[in-house]
Amino acid sequence: MWEYTDIVKEHFLNPKNVGEMKDASCVGEVGSIACGDALKLFLKIEDGIIRDASFQTFGCASAIASSSALTELVKGKTVDEAMKITNKDIAAALGGLPKEKMHCSVMGEEALEAAIKSYRGEDVGSHEHSEGEIVCECFGVTDEQILHAVRENDLKTIEDVTYYTKAGGGCAKCHEKIEALIAQARGEAAPTPAPAPKKLSNLQRMKLIEEVLEKEIRPRLQLDGGDIELADIDGLTVVVNLRGRCTGCPASQATVQGTVQGILREKVDPEIVVREA
Amino acid sequence: MSAQNVVYLDNNATTRVAPEVLEAMLPFFSERYGNPSSMHAFGGSVGSEMRQARESLADLLGCGTDEIIFTSCGTESDNTAIRSALTAQPEKRHIVTTRVEHPAVLSLCKFLERSQGYRVTYLGVDAEGKLDMQELTDSLNDDTAIVSIMWANNETGVIFPIEQIAELTRSRGIMLHTDAVQAVGKIPMQLSKTGVDMLSLSGHKLHAPKGVGALFVRRKLPYRPYLIGGHQEHGKRAGTENTTGIIALGAAAKAAKAHLPSENTTVRALRDRLESALLASVPDSRLNGHKTERLPNTSNISFKYIEGEAILLLLDQLGIAASSGSACTSGSLEPSHVLRAMGVPFTFAHGSIRFSLSRYTTDADVDYVIKNVPQIIETLRKISPYKQGAADPLSPLDSKPPCGC
Ligand SMILES: Cc1ncc(COP(=O)(O)O)c(C=O)c1O
Ligand code: FES
B273 touching A, CB under 8 A?
no
pLDDT given for residue B82 in this prediction? 98
Q: Which of B33-47, B53-67, B125-139 has the lowest mean pLDDT?
A: B33-47
Among B97, B102, B186, B323, which residue has the most ligand 1 atoms within 8 Å of its CB, making it the best to mutate? Answer: B102
* Cα B331 to averaged position of ligand 2 atoms, centre (Å): 16
Read off the pLDDT of residues B253-280 as tens digits, 9 standing for 90 and up.
Answer: 999 999 999 999 999 999 999 999 999 9
Domain assignment of residue B393, yes or no: no
Domain assignment of residue A197, yes or no: no
pLDDT above 60 for A75: yes
The CATH number linked to A54 is 3.90.1010.10
Alpha-carbon distance B226 to B50, whole Å? 21
A137 touching B, CB under 8 A?
yes
B328 in the same domain as B230 = no
Read off the pLDDT of residues B81-98 as tens digits, 9 standing for 90 and up.
Answer: 999 999 999 999 999 999
pLDDT above 60 for A127: no
Alpha-carbon distance B326 to B118, whole Å? 31
B124 in the same domain as B273 = no
What is the side-by-side order of every strand in the sheet holding B119-123? B68-71, B213-217, B198-202, B175-179, B144-148, B94-98, B119-123
What is the set of active-site residues of B? Answer: 328
Kindly state the average pLDDT of the residues B139-147.
98
Q: Which of A218-222, A237-241, B91-95, B127-131 has the lowest mean pLDDT?
A: A218-222
At A226, is the secondary structure helix, strand, or coil?
Answer: strand
B323 in the same domain as B364 = yes
Domain that holds residue B219: 19-256
Q: How many CA atoms lie within 13 A of A145 on its CB side?
A: 31
Domain assignment of residue B366, yes or no: yes
Domain assignment of residue A168, yes or no: yes
Domain assignment of residue A18, yes or no: yes
pLDDT given for residue B391 in this prediction? 40
Q: How far is CA B260 from CA B266, B285, B362, in A?
A: 10, 30, 17
pLDDT given for residue B5 in this prediction? 84
Read off the pLDDT of residues B164-218 as tens digits, 9 standing for 90 and up.
Answer: 999 999 999 999 999 999 999 999 999 999 999 999 999 999 999 999 999 999 9
B294 in the same domain as B215 = no
The CATH number linked to A167 is 1.10.10.1100
Q: Identify which has the larger pLDDT, A193 or B87.
A: B87
| Residues A36, B328: C-beta atoms closer than 8 Å | yes
Q: How far is CA B169 from CA B89, B147, B160, B174, B197, in A?
A: 16, 8, 14, 5, 10
pLDDT given for residue A213 in this prediction? 80
Read off the pLDDT of residues B281-340 as tens digits, 9 standing for 90 and up.
Answer: 999 999 999 999 999 999 999 999 999 999 999 999 999 999 998 766 656 677 889 999
A104 in the same domain as A27 = yes
B315 in the same domain as B191 = no
Q: Among A108, A119, A124, A117, which Cα is nearest to A46's?
A: A119
Q: How far is CA A138 from CA B28, B351, B386, in A?
A: 52, 19, 21
Q: How far is CA B297 from CA B155, B265, B300, B359, in A?
A: 11, 10, 10, 9
Mean pLDDT, chain B, whole residue set: 93
Angle at B360 between CA B354 and CA B366, to 5 degrees: 55
Angle at B56 between CA B54 and CA B57, to 5 degrees: 65
CA-based nearest residue in chain B for residue A164: B333
Element (H, E) at B275: helix B268-281
Chain B residue numbers with beta carbons less than 8 Å from the beta carbon of A225 are: 87, 224, 228
A31 in the same domain as A110 = yes
pLDDT given for residue A76 in this prediction? 96
Alpha-carbon distance B117 to A90, whole Å? 47
Alpha-carbon distance A45 to A57, whole Å? 21
A64 touching B, CB under 8 A?
yes
Mean pLDDT, chain A, whole residue set: 85
A99 in the same domain as A12 = yes
Alpha-carbon distance B302 to B343, whole Å? 13
The percent of residues above 90 in pLDDT, for chain A, comes to: 52
Domain that holds residue A16: 6-119
Q: Hey, CA dihedral for B176, B180, B185, B188, is it positive or negative?
A: negative
* Cα B154 to averaged position of ligand 1 atoms, centre (Å): 8
B97 in the same domain as B210 = yes
Number of domains in chain A: 3
Alpha-carbon distance A269 to A263, whole Å? 10
C-beta of A136 in contact with ligand 2 (< 6 A): yes
A102 in the same domain as A147 = no
**A274 and A264 in contact (C-beta within 8 Å)?**
yes
Q: How far is CA B85 from CA B63, B76, B114, B177, B198, in A?
A: 20, 14, 18, 9, 10
Q: Identify which has the larger pLDDT, A7 or A172.
A: A7
B177 in the same domain as B101 = yes
Q: Among A108, A114, A63, which Cα is nearest to A89's?
A: A108
Kindly state the average pLDDT of the residues B12-17.
96
pLDDT given for residue A253 in this prediction? 64
Which residue's CA is the nearest one to ligand 1's atom 5? Answer: B74
- DSSP line for B277-334: HHHHHSTTEEE-S-SSSB-TTEEEEEETTS-HHHHHHHHHHTTEE-EE-SHHHHTSSS
Domain assignment of residue A26, yes or no: yes
Kindly state the average pLDDT of the residues A217-224.
77
Alpha-carbon distance B127 to B249, whole Å? 35
A206 in the same domain as A170 = no
Among B256, B282, B309, give the residue marking a domain's end: B256
Non-local CB neighbours of B101 within 8 Å, separated by 6+ positions: B109, B148, B149, B150, B179
pLDDT above 80 for B402: no
Pairing of strands A49-58, B198-202: unpaired
- The dihedrals phi and psi of B396, each to the nearest 5 degrees, come to -60, -40
pLDDT above 60 for B252: yes
* Cα A221 to averaged position of ligand 1 atoms, centre (Å): 27
pLDDT given for residue A2 in this prediction? 76
Among A133, A158, A173, which residue has the most ligand 2 atoms within 8 Å of its CB, making it the best to mutate? Answer: A173
Residues A206-225 as b/e (b if ≥16 CB within 10 A, e otherwise) read beebeebbeeebbebbeebb
User: Which ligand has the minimum distance to the alpha carbon of residue B334?
Assistant: 2
A180 touching B, CB under 8 A?
no
- The dihedrals phi and psi of A121, each to the nearest 5 degrees, come to 75, 15
Q: Within 10 Å of residue B366's Cβ, how many Cβ atoms?
A: 22
A63 touching B, CB under 8 A?
yes
pLDDT given for residue B396 in this prediction? 34
Q: Among A117, A7, A129, A119, which Cα is nearest to A66's?
A: A7
* pTM, full prediction: 0.81
- Ligand 1 cavity residues, CB under 6 Å: B 73-75, 78, 102, 104, 150, 154, 179, 181-182, 202, 213
A180 in the same domain as A95 = no
Query: Atom of ligand 1 at shortest distance to CA of B73?
Result: 10
Torsion from C-alpha of B258, B263, B264, B268, nearest 10 degrees: 160
* Cα A143 to averaged position of ligand 2 atoms, centre (Å): 12
A68 in the same domain as A26 = yes
Domain assignment of residue A207, yes or no: yes
User: Which ligand has the minimum distance to the alpha carbon of residue B78?
Assistant: 1
Chain A residue numbers with beta carbons less than 8 Å from the beta carbon of B305 are: 33, 58
Among A119, A142, A164, give the residue marking a domain's end: A119
Alpha-carbon distance B310 to A4, whole Å? 12
Number of domains in chain B: 2
Q: Identify which has the larger pLDDT, B378 or A170.
A: B378
* Cα B33 to averaged position of ligand 1 atoms, centre (Å): 28
Report which residue type is found at B328.
C
B333 in the same domain as B210 = no
Torsion from C-alpha of A139, A140, A143, A148, nearest 10 degrees: -70
Report which residue type is found at B136.
L
Identify the band that residue B231 occupies on the pLDDT scale cut at 50, 70 and 90: very high
pLDDT given for residue B389 in this prediction? 57
Chain B residue numbers with beta carbons less than 8 Å from the beta carbon of A37 are: 307
**B230 and B239 in contact (C-beta within 8 Å)?**
yes
Q: Within 10 Å of residue B351's Cβ, how many Cβ atoms?
A: 32
A215 in the same domain as A169 = no
Q: Which of B102-116, B223-237, B329-343 has the lowest mean pLDDT?
A: B329-343
The CATH number linked to A223 is 3.30.300.130
pLDDT above 60 for B64: yes
Among A63, A90, A119, give the residue marking a domain's end: A119
B194 in the same domain as B79 = yes
CA-based nearest residue in chain B for residue A13: B314
C-beta of A174 in contact with ligand 2 (< 6 A): yes
Among B221, B256, B291, give the residue marking a domain's end: B256
**Which of A29, A59, A171 is opposite residue B396, by nearest beta carbon?**
A29
A109 in the same domain as A154 = no
Chain B residue numbers with beta carbons less than 8 Å from the beta carbon of A220 are: 115
B379 in the same domain as B246 = no
The percent of residues above 70 in pLDDT, for chain A, comes to: 87
Domain assignment of residue B250, yes or no: yes
Q: Among B355, B295, B281, B345, which Cα is nearest to B324's?
A: B355
- The dihedrals phi and psi of A136, each to the nearest 5 degrees, come to -105, 110
B224 in the same domain as B183 = yes
Element (H, E) at B8: strand B7-8
Read off the pLDDT of residues A173-189 as tens digits, 9 standing for 90 and up.
Answer: 899 999 999 999 988 76
Domain assignment of residue A128, yes or no: no
C-beta of A137 in contact with ligand 2 (< 6 A): yes
Among A103, A136, A161, A181, which residue has the most ligand 2 atoms within 8 Å of its CB, making it the best to mutate? Answer: A136
B113 in the same domain as B68 = yes
**A36 and B350 in contact (C-beta within 8 Å)?**
yes
The runs of H, that is alpha helices, within chain A are 6-13, 61-74, 79-83, 87-93, 102-119, 143-153, 158-165, 175-185, 202-212, 218-223, 252-254, 262-267
Domain assignment of residue A170, yes or no: yes
